């Protein structure tokens, strides 16, 4: 099946490096990041999992739970985690899903025949507390993910969910945001008391509401 933005993220039960989990139960009321790796003991992915572990506090303060997935076994994952911790000077505590039969990979359309008939592509999904898919990024095997961008998008998604704003190109946390078009200009002062600018009737900005 093909997963698209706005779809309900499929639930699954799976063995992981920390034991059996039910995906929905693991997420609870949190946001989620689910990201795939072609196989254990791959160099780029080793750095990515280490970077994710190092960002533990950043994910936690955003109420985000992280899960990785690889087609190898849970025992293989445990050995790989030792290497990750050693080489990346960190401690991987989040689950790495074992998916040798590719059940989860197929649920999330992680196998692209043009890339490989058997291995997952490197896809990342951000999932909201209502279990909707909010972001999909697929990177080539040779390019490590930009986790600062993942955090930036999560910040933007959470602002949109809570304050009816969007974020402009290259936006960073703390900068002005865009008032969504569903809000009339005359209603902006009540909803956004910090002030606003009308650049064009369709382009209205306001200071970030939660800063």
CA pseudo-torsion sign 128, 130, 134, 135: positive
Q: Give the pTM.
A: 0.91
171/156 Cα distance (integer angstroms): 9
Nearest one of 113, 68, 75, 71 to 93, comparing CA atoms: 68
Mean pLDDT of 102-122: 68
> How many helices (H) does the chain have, and how many strands (E)?
7, 11
3-state helix, strand, coil in the chain (%, to 5): 30, 25, 45
pLDDT tens column, 180-205: 999 999 999 999 999 999 999 999 99
Mean pLDDT of 12-22: 95
What percent of the chain is modeled with pLDDT above 90? 79
Nearest one of 49, 36, 37 to 87, comparing CA atoms: 49
pLDDT tens column, 54-70: 999 999 999 999 999 99
What domains are defined for the chain?
13-145 (3.40.30.10), 164-206 (no CATH)
Active-site residue numbers? Answer: 45
DSSP state of 69: E
Q: Among 92-96, 117-121, 166-170, which is the least confidently predicted range?
A: 117-121
Confidence grade of residue 141 (pLDDT, cut at 50, 70, 90): confident
């Amino acid at each position: 099946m093909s997963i698209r933005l706005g779809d309900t993220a499929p639930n699954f039960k799976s063995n992981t490096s920390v034991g059996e989990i039910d995906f929905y139960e693991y997420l609870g009321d949190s946001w989620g990041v689910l990201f795939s790796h072609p196989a254990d003991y791959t160099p780029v992915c080793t750095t990515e999992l280490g970077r994710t572990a190092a960002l533990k506090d950043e994910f936690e303060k955003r109420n985000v739970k992280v899960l990785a997935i690889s087609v190898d076994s849970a025992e293989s994952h445990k050995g790989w985690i030792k290497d990750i911790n050693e080489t990346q000077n960190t401690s991987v505590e989040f689950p790495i899903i074992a998916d040798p039969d590719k059940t989860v990979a197929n649920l999330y359309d992680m196998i692209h025949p043009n890339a490989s008939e058997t291995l997952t592509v490197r896809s990342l999904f951000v999932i909201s507390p209502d279990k909707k898919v909010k972001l999909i990024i697929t990177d080539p095997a040779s390019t490590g993910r930009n986790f600062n961008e993942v955090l930036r998008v999560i910040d933007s998604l959470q602002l949109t969910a809570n304050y009816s704003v969007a974020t402009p190109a290259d936006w960073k946390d703390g900068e002005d945001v865009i008032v969504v078009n569903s809000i009339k200009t005359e209603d902006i002062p009540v909803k956004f008391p910090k002030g606003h600018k009308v650049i064009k009737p369709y382009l209205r900005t306001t200071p970030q509401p939660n800063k």
